[in-house]
Amino acid sequence: MPELYELKPPSLIEIASQVKSQGVELFFQHRSRHAFFKFQKAIQYLVLINKEEQCSAEILAKKKKLQDTLYCNMAGIHVQQGNWEAAIDLCTIVLKNNPNYVKALFRRGKSLMEIQVRMNGLNVLTLTLLDSIRQSTF
């Protein structure tokens, strides 16, 4: 078997697609952590495809689409686990490439709402604590 750096872009995309499929399967088996690592591994294969190489527009488009899907899948796992900031970061990467990617928009919006709700709750608790302190000092 050839070394990774010797593989041509179509082979790298095929391997990355297979690894992504394994990740999706793991996700549906409720093995999110393992799925996340598969998605990361698939991205590592795609990173090996340079824009400078003699790649067709079709190959570069497949790479971009697969990469966006992988980042969005990883963001979905972060949302599921309540890692709001990480989900926002991954969705932002996707939305830079594809501003109309609905799943990324939804996951980013949900994460932003969760952070805002928590911030509002923290503000209420802080005001309540300050009010309690003021009342006890008079």
Q: 68 or 127, which is more confident?
A: 68
* Domain boundaries along the sequence of the chain: 4-137
Specify the residue for token string 């980042």. 71
- Which whole number is the average pLDDT over 89-101? 94
Instruction: Check pLDDT > 60 for residue 60.
Output: yes
Specify the CATH architecture of the domain 4-137. Alpha Horseshoe (1.25)
Q: Report the C-alpha gap between 113 and 118 in whole angstroms.
A: 9
pTM confidence score: 0.84
Q: Report the C-alpha gap between 27 and 76 in whole angstroms.
A: 10
Cβ atoms of 32 and 6 closer than 8 Å: no
